[in-house]
């Protein structure tokens, strides 16, 4: 196998995709992006955009997908509809992109004999896990097919199930990764950290509303750490293996709000509210598997939040 490869990154102008593309170029690889820019922006890649081949198109468009796969050695499939509010508003569209997009990638890889494929899954496949921290062996769940929230996690479960089956038959290296709450500059507003930051910027008075009672926990991984972790998967990940990517740094949502109130120097009184239906109370990955590949978290939450607030 050649050291320098031609990668296709679907969803490459998205938040995570842009980070991955920059890393690939730094390593000397060639990069093609297929993205419809529904949430992606080429400006995320402004310093390197001349070095990248950008194809604007929908992952559901078979012809476009096949065209972008010509002369490609390996595919990183990220294109997907993200953002919690879309799970509730457009569950059918989420599944359409998940299923048709994935099938086009499989069919194209088979046609062009591309043997290396990386599939983005999500922590949402665990829903309410039986174990915290949660390792990759945890059973995956769709607790209620009537709750549109699970369109997102359901699409990812399907991605994994099909990934393993197709992987066995058609690929030499097919790897699945499950990101857990990645954050960083220019990530879009439909996530808890940028949403809090935007509200702190405009905050008048002390009342600060949060989803839930504040005791819900998450762990967040800064984009630079995420890209480092993904690089280990690219270089050392094993065929048909699944890797959590995240950190062990558990934080309660009310503590996250308090950390930001300190950075903004604005005193707050937290106002609780109802959690979204189907939102999980605790999420923390077991990251032993990715650590065994060499990954170590470098950017702690306090430092990452500081970067982010000062970046904006």
Ligand X SMILES: NC(=O)c1ccc[n+]([C@@H]2O[C@H](COP(=O)([O-])OP(=O)(O)OC[C@H]3O[C@@H](n4cnc5c(N)ncnc54)[C@H](O)[C@@H]3O)[C@@H](O)[C@H]2O)c1
Residues near ligand X (CB under 6 A) are: 11, 13-17, 35-40, 58-60, 78-82, 97, 120, 122-123, 179, 181-182, 188
74 backbone dihedrals φ, ψ, rounded to 5°: -150, 150
Q: C-beta of 310: minimal distance to ligand X in Å?
A: 21
Using CA atoms, how far apart are residues 67 and 108, in angstroms rounded to an integer? 9
CB under 8 Å to 214, separation ≥6 — which residues?
252, 253, 254, 257, 270, 272
274 backbone dihedrals φ, ψ, rounded to 5°: -70, 140
Q: Tell me which residue has tokens 């910027």.
A: 201
Which CB sits closer to ligand X, 186 or 213? 186
Q: C-beta of 23: minimal distance to ligand X in Å?
A: 14
Q: C-beta of 180: minimal distance to ligand X in Å?
A: 7
Strands of 53-56's sheet, edge to edge?
Answer: 53-56, 30-35, 6-10, 74-77, 116-120, 173-179, 242-245
Q: Which residues of 44-81 are buried (b: 16+ CB within 10 A; e: fewer)?
A: bbeeeeeebebbebbbbbeebbeebbeebbbbbbbbbb
Query: Where on the phi/psi map is residue 265: left (φ > 0), alpha (ψ -120 to 50), or beta?
Result: left
Which CB sits closer to ligand X, 38 or 211? 38
Which CB sits closer to ligand X, 167 or 246? 246
Which CB sits closer to ligand X, 219 or 254? 219
Q: C-beta of 36: minimal distance to ligand X in Å?
A: 4
Using CA atoms, how far apart are residues 87 and 310, in angstroms rounded to an integer? 30
Which CB sits closer to ligand X, 190 or 272? 190
Retrieve residue 116's tokens: 């290396």
Strands (E), 142-214: 173-179, 182-183, 207-209
Q: C-beta of 139: minimal distance to ligand X in Å?
A: 18
Q: C-beta of 3: minimal distance to ligand X in Å?
A: 26
Compute the C-alpha angle 164/80/226, nearest 5°: 80
Residue 137 DSSP label:
T
Looking at the DSSP assignment, which residues form a beta bridge with residue 178? 244
Which CB sits closer to ligand X, 194 or 268? 194
Q: C-beta of 206: minimal distance to ligand X in Å?
A: 30
Which CB sits closer to ligand X, 25 or 95? 95
Which CB sits closer to ligand X, 35 or 116? 35
Compute the C-alpha angle 227/229/231, nearest 5°: 70
Which CB sits closer to ligand X, 78 or 210? 78
Q: C-beta of 1: minimal distance to ligand X in Å?
A: 25
**Parallel/antiparallel/unpaired status of strands 74-77 and 6-10:** parallel
Q: C-beta of 279: minimal distance to ligand X in Å?
A: 14
Which residue's C-beta sits nearest to ligand X? 14
């Amino acid at each position: 196998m050649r050291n320098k490869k031609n990668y296709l990154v679907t969803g490459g102008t998205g938040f995570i995709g842009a980070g991955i593309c920059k890393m690939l170029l730094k390593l000397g690889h060639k990069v093609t992006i297929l993205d419809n820019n529904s949430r992606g922006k080429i400006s995320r890649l402004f310093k390197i955009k001349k070095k990248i081949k950008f194809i604007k198109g929908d992952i559901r468009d078979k012809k476009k997908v096949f065209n972008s796969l010509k002369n490609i050695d390996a595919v990183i499939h990220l294109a997907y509809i993200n953002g919690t509010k879309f799970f509730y508003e457009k569950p059918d569209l989420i599944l359409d992109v998940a299923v048709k997009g994935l099938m086009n990638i499989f069919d194209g890889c088979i046609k062009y004999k591309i043997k290396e494929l990386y599939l983005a899954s999500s922590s949402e496949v665990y829903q309410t896990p039986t174990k915290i921290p949660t390792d990759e062996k945890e059973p995956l769940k769709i607790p209620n097919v009537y709750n549109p929230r699970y369109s997102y996690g359901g699409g990812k479960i399907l991605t994994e199930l099909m990934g393993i089956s197709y992987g066995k038959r058609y690929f030499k290296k097919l790897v699945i990764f499950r990101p857990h709450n990645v954050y960083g500059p220019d990530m879009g507003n439909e996530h808890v950290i940028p949403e809090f930051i935007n509200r702190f910027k405009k905050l008048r008075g002390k009342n600060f509303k949060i989803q839930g009672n504040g005791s819900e926990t998450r762990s967040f991984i800064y984009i630079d750490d995420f890209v480092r972790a993904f690089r280990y998967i690219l270089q050392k990940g094993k065929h048909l293996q699944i890797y959590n990517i995240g950190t062990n740094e558990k934080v309660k949502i009310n503590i996250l709000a308090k950390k930001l109130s300190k950075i903004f120097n604005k005193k707050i009184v937290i106002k609780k509210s109802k959690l979204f239906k189907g939102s999980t109370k605790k999420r923390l990955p077991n990251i032993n598997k990715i650590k065994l590949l060499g990954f170590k978290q470098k950017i702690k939450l306090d430092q990452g939040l500081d970067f982010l607030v000062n970046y904006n």
